[in-house]
A and B are shown apart, each in its own frame.
Chain A
């Protein structure tokens, strides 16, 4: 590839290492950046440098934050008797967008997966158990609806049992706003199983 440059190739290599970006897209992004004003590219690289320098884990909930404890953990407006447990920081974002949840969070940073060598000790489970003190009344488990999420849910429920705290999990069911006929059959079958009286 003599018609390109080492600098371009270095950037392409880095972009291609990102999730869901292939080499073609990586190259397109690199060329796009080359055509941008110097100022834009400089802001881009500064933002990247600051990302690593400024962002760390909240020492309470293990969400990403710039100041420790994070805004949610230090907010006086949040209900401190409920903790919602999620797998990834992205999940906090998803639940916050609903605007309906006013409690605290706890981010596990993954799910139990012995096949990939991820055991309970590799996640923030012990930290969660340590957080469940007197004022906490309920722990909501909002993990992904797959085998790993289910195993993690059951494991945490077991670990919290001696602490006499209410442990709940989010419901599984049919998406709102779409037609029943478009719901996938496995979800619909589970929704039928956990039907409720009206």
Chain B
């Protein structure tokens, strides 16, 4: 995928910024707070429907304005044009239109502009809680499969409905056992759909991750990523069996669920264990190994997405070269060059790393972007 141009309107400190991108590496440099990362966020919003930073849509609107809008023009690997416009007005919902239609839902555009984001904030994937790893897997699978994105949205809705019913039961205001049974079965079935897809994904993803860790991150240790679904043994991963197992778990937990007024089983409790040298990375990895693991995961995400979507993803690197040593930086840049992926890099110092010849440079200051030599 190749981004031709972007227009940012009222996004953070950008009032109206229009950029024509280079086809290879695009380097955005300038001091902190000048609006470099906002360009990457805009690309992420157009591709993933939301920014990779923890900001609400209202928080993204430039002070004094009441909406933001991002317009992108791109072409696919086979030169098919693709346009997308994402707009958010204070207090409203996101209005999304693309070459495929108007009034789209976020899931309709996710995956159309395949994107891999690497930011120091993502260290929680290897460092943090199970939900950080789930978020990584869910975001990746949502780009890989529209069906997965839809099932994930359904799961969220079913959980909200089931938890509402359990909360009412706990308050002793209302409880319909028939309805509870229906919601439980629905959760078991949608849960099985998601678990079997996550399991199949990690089977394919683990070898790609091991290879990426060895070559790009230059790590010597054996690494792995192993799926740990809640209340299911990894051995019996067939959709029907999983639904059956989830239903049995529900039966066992029924009393406690009713007492506590909340759902206690399902894929929203899964984890994926990242292993280094035979031990969980969370406890065993050094600072340097955590960085290598993250690079390995992100490089593997890039390769996996490229294979499954038959489209070269775009790489967004937010200020990563301040965190990486020279050797790891060089490896990452070499991977970019070999893959021919269009890449967007932010850095405070453009001499921090040796960017490939032919890179386009953009200077950011006070919410404006100027192309430089």
Q: What is the interface of chain A, defined by CB distance below 8 A to chain B?
A: 112-115, 119-121, 146-148, 150-151, 154-155, 158-159, 182, 184-186, 189-190
Q: In the bound complex, do residue A113 and residue B161 qualify as a contact, i.e. CB atoms below 8 Å apart?
A: yes
Q: In the bound complex, do residue A120 and residue B179 qualify as a contact, i.e. CB atoms below 8 Å apart?
A: yes
* B176 in the interface (beta carbon within 8 A): yes
- Known contacts A120-B179, A147-B158, A151-B183; 15 further A-B pairs (Cβ under 8 A): A114-B164, A114-B168, A119-B174, A120-B176, A120-B178, A147-B157, A147-B186, A148-B161, A151-B182, A154-B186, A184-B146, A186-B147, A186-B150, A189-B146, A189-B147
Q: What is the interface of chain B, defined by CB distance below 8 A to chain A?
A: 100, 107-108, 145-147, 149-150, 154, 157-158, 160-162, 164-165, 168, 174, 176, 178-179, 181-183, 185-186
Residue of B at shortest CB range from A157?
Answer: B182
In the complex, what distance in Å separates the CA atom of A139 from the CA atom of B183? Answer: 21
Q: In the bound complex, do residue A159 and residue B178 qualify as a contact, i.e. CB atoms below 8 Å apart?
A: yes
Which applies to chain B's interface (DSSP): helix, strand, loop or mixed?
helix
In the complex, what distance in Å separates the CA atom of A158 from the CA atom of B145? Answer: 32
Q: Given the known A-B contacts A119-B174, A120-B176, A147-B154, are A154 and B182 also in contact in the complex, defined by CB atoms under 8 Å?
A: yes
In the complex, what distance in Å separates the CA atom of A147 from the CA atom of B187? Answer: 11
In the complex, what distance in Å separates the CA atom of A64 from the CA atom of B43? Answer: 49
Q: Given the known A-B contacts A184-B108, A185-B147, are A115 and B182 also in contact in the complex, defined by CB atoms under 8 Å?
A: no
Q: In the bound complex, do residue B182 and residue A114 qualify as a contact, i.e. CB atoms below 8 Å apart?
A: no
Q: In the bound complex, do residue B161 and residue A114 qualify as a contact, i.e. CB atoms below 8 Å apart?
A: yes
In the complex, what distance in Å separates the CA atom of A186 from the CA atom of B105? Answer: 13
Nearest chain B CB to A87 CB, angstrom units: 16
Contacts of B100 in A (CB 8 A): 182
Q: In the bound complex, do residue A155 and residue B178 qualify as a contact, i.e. CB atoms below 8 Å apart?
A: yes
Q: In the bound complex, do residue A112 and residue B179 qualify as a contact, i.e. CB atoms below 8 Å apart?
A: yes
Which applies to chain A's interface (DSSP): helix, strand, loop or mixed?
helix
In the complex, what distance in Å separates the CA atom of A120 from the CA atom of B164? Answer: 14
Nearest chain A CB to B173 CB, angstrom units: 9
Q: In the bound complex, do residue A186 and residue B178 qualify as a contact, i.e. CB atoms below 8 Å apart?
A: no
Nearest chain A CB to B263 CB, angstrom units: 12
In the complex, what distance in Å separates the CA atom of A184 from the CA atom of B178? Answer: 33
- Max chain B C-beta neighbours (<10 A), residue from A121, A186, A190: A186
Residue of B at shortest CB range from A190?
Answer: B147
Nearest chain A CB to B172 CB, angstrom units: 14
In the complex, what distance in Å separates the CA atom of A158 from the CA atom of B161? Answer: 18
In the complex, what distance in Å separates the CA atom of A67 from the CA atom of B245? Answer: 52
In the complex, what distance in Å separates the CA atom of A19 from the CA atom of B146? Answer: 30
In the complex, what distance in Å separates the CA atom of A186 from the CA atom of B148? Answer: 8
Q: In the bound complex, do residue A155 and residue B164 qualify as a contact, i.e. CB atoms below 8 Å apart?
A: no
Q: Which of A120, A146, A158 contacts B181 (CB 8 A)?
A: A158
The 3 A-B pairs of least Cβ separation, nearest first, read: A185-B146, A189-B147, A186-B150
Q: In the bound complex, do residue A114 and residue B146 qualify as a contact, i.e. CB atoms below 8 Å apart?
A: no
Nearest chain A CB to B128 CB, angstrom units: 29
In the complex, what distance in Å separates the CA atom of A146 from the CA atom of B179? Answer: 16
Contacts of B174 in A (CB 8 A): 119
Q: In the bound complex, do residue A158 and residue B158 qualify as a contact, i.e. CB atoms below 8 Å apart?
A: no
Contacts of A121 in B (CB 8 A): 176
Nearest chain A CB to B305 CB, angstrom units: 15
Contacts of A154 in B (CB 8 A): 182, 185-186
Q: In the bound complex, do residue B182 and residue A155 qualify as a contact, i.e. CB atoms below 8 Å apart?
A: yes
In the complex, what distance in Å separates the CA atom of A157 from the CA atom of B107? Answer: 30
Nearest chain B CB to A29 CB, angstrom units: 21
In the complex, what distance in Å separates the CA atom of A190 from the CA atom of B154? Answer: 14
In the complex, what distance in Å separates the CA atom of A113 from the CA atom of B174? Answer: 13
Q: In the bound complex, do residue B182 and residue A186 qualify as a contact, i.e. CB atoms below 8 Å apart?
A: no
Nearest chain A CB to B96 CB, angstrom units: 14
In the complex, what distance in Å separates the CA atom of A154 from the CA atom of B157? Answer: 16
In the complex, what distance in Å separates the CA atom of A146 from the CA atom of B105? Answer: 14
User: 9 A-B contacts, Cβ less than 8 Å apart?
Assistant: A114-B168, A114-B183, A120-B178, A147-B157, A151-B186, A159-B178, A186-B147, A186-B149, A189-B145
In the complex, what distance in Å separates the CA atom of A27 from the CA atom of B158? Answer: 40
Nearest chain A CB to B150 CB, angstrom units: 4
